[in-house]
């Protein structure tokens, strides 16, 4: 969902995806409210964070969400 309080219209979102074991982080800029992460390793734990940004800069990121991929 969009942020509850924003200091202007949201221009986009950033997703930060970190492979827990290696600490390797990727970030992706997204225009909409959904995005499909691809190229993830099987049976691997990842930590995700999300933030919204507008013309004034980035907002506060979410708390970390930890997920583990399945076989496919």
Q: Say whether pLDDT at 34 is over 80.
A: yes
Position 61 in a domain: yes
Residue 5 included in any domain: no
Q: What is the CATH number of the domain that holds 41?
A: 2.60.40.10
Domain count, the chain: 1
The mean per-residue pLDDT over the stretch 46-53 comes to 95
Range of the domain at 22: 12-69
Nearest to 24 by CA among 35, 40, 12: 40
C-alpha distance from residue 36 to each of 30, 32, 33 (Å) = 10, 11, 11
Q: Which of 5-9, 43-47, 63-67 has the lowest average pLDDT? A: 5-9
pLDDT > 80? residue 70: yes
Instruction: List the one residue out of 32, 70, 26 whose CA is nearest residue 47.
Output: 26
């Amino acid at each position: 969902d969009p942020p509850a309080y924003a200091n202007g219209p949201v221009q986009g979102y950033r997703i930060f995806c970190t492979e827990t074991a290696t600490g390797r982080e990727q970030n992706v800029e997204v225009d909409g409210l959904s995005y499909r992460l691809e190229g993830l390793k099987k049976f691997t734990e990842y930590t995700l964070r999300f933030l919204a940004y507008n013309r004034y800069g980035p907002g506060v990121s979410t708390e970390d969400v930890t997920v583990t991929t399945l076989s496919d």
